[in-house]
Structure 1
């Protein structure tokens, strides 16, 4: 027998023998020593040792441990029996005699300390002693039994030890002799373990307890509404509305994604889906299926799709006398929504973009109207979501699409295979100017999981083209990375892109939050961009999130110059996408991120709204004031600040669109005119928007204005309408008429912009027409040639002296030693992994 087996055997023997002794000690109480029971009789309390007969109403089964039944009249019900039995600490004394040996049903409470009347001290002492005797006897008996069991266990252990070798026997004897000395340690260890466990479990219990009440309340309210509301309710929509309102009170980025939205979110993160590569527009589901109260403020005639304009206006005037201002505003909003819905239904499902390599290669173009999918006709009530679901499917399967093109009489049909459509982040990578100059341009539109690989491929392509153009004499001299309008994407994709630009071992970004582990992302690869290549990064007010991580790393590590009008968006928050049951998801803010200098560029502070106290229960947002922005320093000592996005190092004002151009873009006039133009014209190689086309466009807009399809003063209509209402309430009729005159003057002033901004509007017309014939990459390249900011960035990277001077500004030893210089947030160094890509979104 091995020593381990002997030890195990001895431990089992000790436990079994000890437990048997203890059990024996508790179960071997003889009936003769059982504690006497108390019996209530007429005239006082007497000691009564119950009979062991099971027929006796007062029999006491010692082994069953049943509670003492203090008084059980013959006719008592079971409920009364339970009620009396649950109060064993009090006795009942009869107030009158009993019959047939049983007391009367009228009782008085008698304390265990003695009778309430005519008690002397001796009687009280005897009664207390009488009550304590059974307890004392039982305790003595149990103690004696335990001691005997321990002695028996020790004797048996000594007998077993005799069979062991002498060294092992001596070891066990020494162990048991010293066991009592370890008593304090064992007690302390046990107490410490208990307290540590309590310290861990209690916060969890408290957290669960704090959540149980609101969850139960929410479930109760939802159940009550489902069962007893005056009309039948859709609990799913009601639940989503409640959840959306709750999350909306935190910040604009925390959202609950239902099944359909969760699928779209996953596709945007992964950058691929199974389909044909089309972006379509038409009737949205929200418009096709309005909520029950959507038309409550509309007159009966306006609720019908066939109602005339005259009926609508007449009913509106009738109702205006009883409407409040808020109701009238809501009515006007509903009217505009209805007009947009009717326009969308009339236009049907139209192609907005056809991706190269997919639907574009099979002949579909911008503006095509889809008529049927797999021989299933598309009606006026068919929504964009319905068509999208028809086009999506398993890669490799075929789908048939019938469509109509403006200017072509016949219906066209194309059958194409579904494929894994990859949403490209790099929209364009090209050399600008002469290839021998070696100046490259890359437009990066997002940060899906493929962004790093696409950027690496684009930079390699530009480097190779430069080498080919110069016969290997010159490498890529400058690169313009365009991040304007880039809304962001995945954190790890931003790290991947930045790693291609910054030195190996450089800190790129860190993130930390209340429940988010502190993480530091550091480059682990050599940059693919040559350090001698001048890098300019274009940003604007729509450059956000992951795009700002790249821009912030480039700026803080002094590897490039930030070019733009002012600053980026200023979103320094991290969102986690957590999968939920039933194919849903929750996107919620978990942390803030910090650039290599240690600054957080979040421009707006959010805090939870005040519930019903705040308007709509929304979040409370406060912009970071310039006076509160702290100063940090880049690696070379340049001064930068937090709390407001990434500021441009080299500022170039972007051309501003006129009010007329904005109105035309929002109303879709350029696309509608392109559809009309394509009906009677063919695109030629030397196409350009001449004066004839421009005059024809002005006449087209004028006709749309007369029919009410466009209002040139749309940007000012709501403020002017509010002003007219205020003047009407005040009784200023003269001033009200002057506002109407002002409104007419505004229309005339806007019309003058056709001459003032002729060049810009012509370019918009040209883009609208060419979009029906050219792929997206060619449109971007064509628009880049007329971009003032791109042109300025190209000149900057080509001018070595100006570029180096910007990066050298403020490069002093005093600033290099600042407390905020490259002060990254502490955290674990981490490389980007596919697992992080699936859960973290910026």
Structure 2
């Protein structure tokens, strides 16, 4: 390497240079800046250089090259420019003693340079990058020194980096120290905390509210979920409203700040005060705070939320809900399958794997899960990128599921990324039936991200490749303006996640693991070609264009079934989707279900019966909502406030103030009346949501999940398929088998993936 040769010659050349410089010229001296060594450290030092240092260096170059000559900087000079502060020192050549010291100084300088060249990663830097860094340096330094008000240089730098990355795709992000820790927790599935999921106003949402001048109080910090074995066992329940943590009042705090208060070193304790609707009331009926002592521990979030036998135990059908793909996902699934196989009287005779709402995770974990379900030697996935190269994954060991055991995979629009790798591997190898809902498509994310650690405990998550299922299809449903650009790969953790966090703040945040991944898929939803109309949509700096139906290509599974790319994984069988009304959304967003659950608990004794919400309870809930709406405790019309404000502004600007001030109220009442009709049209789903909220006060999550299966139509469809072997086999049969069956029956062939139920 030229660098190696330069490093070996540097001490000698620096000695000569140091001695000769004493004749007529100044030399460079100074100490190396502190900070972690990295390939980006030199650029960071350049950015933080001062104008005074830069002018001194320019003066030195002019003296070396002649007053009117252009600077001619070789590699050695550029490294010196980055590492050392220029100081002008004039030394008489007549002093031989000082000359000797100068030569010794040159030797030391060259030695330091030699070590630096060995320890600092070196790669070619294009002239374009150099010019960009120089321009950015000038802008940042001028703002730091001369802007009318004092600026936060670190914040400017972070915003500049984030703005640059947002022009590529929604998955490429700069993670500051706090974000990097959260990302690492989401990847590892471990964190130090108490095992609570909490909701409230995020820091970003609060900043946006302050900038907009909206004068409204912070949202209460409420418990969304309490993990079994942790906070649930200590007495915390969903719907509890936090009052203080560790003796610190949380009034006015964001959910991010409260999360930090709950976290801490394992084996420490933290007192938590909270109120619960309908419990510990004072004379005026106002809930008074309760207190529990929570122990902080290293919380392990299992990817398997539920593993149980379903239907009759004699049937031997197992159900596993997999919520993510942390490093332990493969082991968690293996343990679940082993336990189910041992519990079933004759071993497992059918399996349902629930990947609904699974936002993804680690590529390696997706491969492990797939390998447990597909035949040995099967292709699972391969990834390809410019600098990433090509990586192909195959199943090298015998699967945990026996080939004769029918397998059904439950998917929905929230099934994304790593979960789609598993679904695609199952479908392309004809190892199981994909049971979808609604339009029958998964999220459609076929991009791979790497996470590269950066200096100062930050990190960069960026897109490096696309992945392809065994049949050769890429299921990415949206092409981004920046996705096609050539990105540099990293050798760090490979992550497959669904979408980025909402910049305005997600409604559900964890004191643990903000599974970005966890709630994001349901919050933002998939961007389908139908919703986008095949046109381009500009996001935060990038352009998103859905893959058009006519551009989607056909591929073949192992049995010759037709599957297509560019739109997620299309289900083999589709269950009808329940429609959600605006009333249900309003009740959920404003935590009305949880509030009433507290009210119910104060007036009822829980009995472990099949159903707790009868007609009387449902009607009482309806009255409760109406009274709270009239009292102003709830605003069910909040979903439409932005539209009402826009209409009011348009009328005012058009000179129709009378309409704006007096005529909108009847419209609002009509909208509210229409929403309240949802109590009749959506009675079944509202009753189910209310019952789950009440039961969450008494039962752990695993029991709730199992009870919910009894009203889950998509699950019931999957169960019927794995128990009906002829139907199961026909869904996976290829064209030859279909033709033979058609010849016997005289019916026209219908593609298996078009079946609906």
Query: Is the structural similarity TM-score above 0.5?
Result: yes
Contact 2:444 2:569 in 1 (8 A): yes
SS in 2 for 1:648: coil
Q: 1:83 to 1:439 in 2, by over 3 A?
A: closer
> Any residues of structure 2 matched to 1:241-320 within 5 Å, and which?
241-287=159-205, 290=207, 295=210, 298=213
CA contact (8 A) 2:410 2:435 kept: yes
How big is each residue's C-alpha offset from its partner over 1:155-194, in whole Å with a ceiling of 9 and x where there is no partner? Answer: xxxxxxxxxxxxxxxxxxxxxxxxxxxxxxxxxxxxxxxx
Identify which of 447, 455, 473 aligns with 1:599: 473
Quick check: 1:283–1:381 contact (8 Å CA) kept in 2?
no
Aligned: 1:238 with 2:112: no
Cα deviation digits, residues 729-775 of structure 1 (max 9, x gap): 56789998887655433322221221222221111111111112211
Give the Cα separation in 2 of the matches to 1:783 and 1:813.
36
In the alignment, which residue of structure 1 is the partner of 2:676?
751
TM-score (norm 1): 0.63
Question: What is the aligned counterpart of 2:442 among 568, 577, 580?
Answer: 568
- Provide closer, same or farther for how the CA distance between residues 220 and 434 of structure 1 changes in structure 2, counting only shifts above 3 A: same
3-state SS of the aligned residue for 2:416?
coil
Equivalenced residues, count: 563
CA distance 1:254–1:431, shift in 2 (3 Å) = same
Q: What's the CA shift for 1:384?
A: 2.7
Residues 1:767 and 2:692 aligned together: yes
2:655 is equivalent to residue 783 of structure 1: no
Q: Which runs of 5+ in 2 are unaligned?
A: 1-22, 25-62, 69-121, 282-287, 485-536, 740-757
Distance change in 2, residues 1:458/1:518 (3 Å):
same
Please state if 1:810 is matched with 2:735. Answer: yes
The answer to whether the Cα contact below 8 Å between 1:638 and 1:811 also exists between their aligned partners in 2 is no
Q: How far apart in 1 are the matches of 2:607 and 2:549? A: 53
Q: Is the 8 A contact 1:639 1:810 kept in 2?
A: no
- Asked if the contact 2:243/2:251 (under 8 Å) is kept, the reply is no
Q: CA deviation at 1:208?
A: 3.2
Q: CA offset at residue 361 of structure 1?
A: 1.9
> Is 1:625 the counterpart of 2:543 in the alignment?
no
> What's the offset of the Cα at 1:669?
1.4
CA shift at 1:390, angstroms?
A: 3.0
Whole-angstrom distance in 1 between the partners of 2:140 and 2:682: 57
**Among residues 788, 792, 803, which one is paired with 2:717 in the alignment?**
792
CA contact (8 A) 1:637 1:812 kept: no
2: distance between equivalents of 1:382 and 1:86? 60
Q: Is 2:144–2:153's contact at 8 Å kept on the other side of the alignment? A: yes
Question: Matches of 1:441 and 1:85 in 2, distance apart?
Answer: 80
Give per-residue Cα distances to partners, 1:484-509, cap 9 Å, x unaligned. Answer: 11000000000000000011111100
- Structure 2 distance, partners of 1:84, 1:269, is 54
Cα distance change of structure 1 residues 786 and 238 upon mapping to structure 2, 3 Å threshold: same
**Equivalent pair of 1:487/1:543 in contact (CA under 8 Å):** yes
Paired position in structure 1 for 2:482: 608
Distance 1:630 1:247, change over 3 A: same
Per the alignment, in what secondary structure is the counterpart of residue 569 of structure 1?
coil
Superposition pairs of residues 385-404 of structure 1, within 5 angstroms: 385-404=256-275
Structure-2 separation of matches of 1:86 and 1:225: 30
How far the C-alpha of 1:716 sits from its partner, in A, is 4.5
Q: Which residue of 2 aligns with 1:518?
A: 390
1:700 pairs with 2:700: no
Give 3-state SS (helix, strand or coil) of 2:677's partner.
helix
Q: Structure 1 residues 716 and 284 mapped into 2: Cα distance closer, same or farther (>3 Å)?
A: closer
* Correspondence list, 1:406-555, <5 A: 406=277, 407-408=279-280, 412-466=290-344, 469=345, 474-555=346-427
User: What do the CA deviations read for 1:347-371 (whole angstroms, capped 9, x no partner)?
Assistant: 3x43221111122222222233444
- Listed as ranges, the matches of 1:634-649 within 5 Å are 634-649=557-572
Q: Judge conservation of contact 2:388–2:464 (CA < 8 Å) in 1.
A: yes
| Cα distance change of structure 1 residues 516 and 636 upon mapping to structure 2, 3 Å threshold | same
Offset, 1:700: 2.3
Cα deviation 1:544-582 (Å, max 9, x = unaligned): 000000000000000001011211010000010111111
Q: What residue in structure 2 maps to residue 652 of structure 1?
A: 575
The 1:731/1:447 distance shift into structure 2, 3 A limit, reads: same
Conserved 8 A contact 1:370-1:378: no
Question: Equivalents in 2 of 1:365, 1:295: separation in Å?
Answer: 31
Matched, 1:383 2:219: no
Structure 1 gap ranges (5+): 1-64, 67-81, 88-202, 299-334, 815-842
Match of 1:801 among 716, 721, 726: 726
Which segment drifts farther, 474-483 or 701-710? 701-710
Shift of 1:216: 2.1
Structure 2 contact 218–252 (Cα < 8 Å) conserved:
no
Within a 5 Å distance, the mapping from 1:667-682 to structure 2 comes to 667-682=590-605
Q: 1:539 to 1:591 in 2, by over 3 A?
A: same
Structure 2 distance, partners of 1:223, 1:356, is 52
Cα distance in structure 1, aligned partners of 2:664 and 2:266 = 59
Q: Contact conserved, 2:166 with 2:173, CA < 8 A, in 1?
A: yes
Q: How does 1:65-464 map to 2 (within 5 A)?
A: 205=124, 207-287=125-205, 290=207, 295=210, 298=213, 335=214, 338-339=215-216, 342-344=217-219, 347=220, 349-374=221-246, 376-406=247-277, 407-408=279-280, 412-464=290-342
SS in 1 for 2:620: helix
Task: Choose 1 or 2 for highest CA Rg.
Answer: 1
Question: Structure 1 84/596 Cα, relative in aligned 2: closer, same or farther at 3 Å?
Answer: closer
| Secondary structure, aligned partner of 2:474 | coil
CA distance in 1, matches of 2:252, 2:676: 36
Secondary structure of the residue aligned to 2:126 is helix
Deviates most, 664-673 or 742-751: 742-751
CA distance in 1, matches of 2:66, 2:697: 90
SS of residue paired to 2:735 = coil
Instruction: Note the alpha carbon deviations across 1:576-595, whole angstroms, 9 max, x for none.
Output: 01111111111111000000
Are the aligned partners of 2:250 and 2:258 in contact in 1 as well (CA < 8 Å)? no
CA distance in structure 2 between the partners assigned to 1:366 and 1:752 by the alignment: 28
SS of match in other structure, 1:424: coil
Q: CA deviation at 1:607?
A: 1.1
Shift of the 286–720 alpha-carbon distance from structure 1 to 2, 3 Å rule, reads closer
Q: CA deviation at 1:802?
A: 0.8
- Give the alignment's Cα RMSD to 1 decimal: 3.0
Q: CA offsets, 1:422-460, max 9 Å, x none? A: 111110011111100111111111001110001111111
Residue of structure 1 equivalent to 2:430: 558
Aligned counterparts of 2:654 and 2:405: Cα–Cα separation in 1: 66
Q: Is the 8 A contact 1:250 1:606 kept in 2?
A: yes
Contact 1:568 1:645 in 2 (8 A): yes
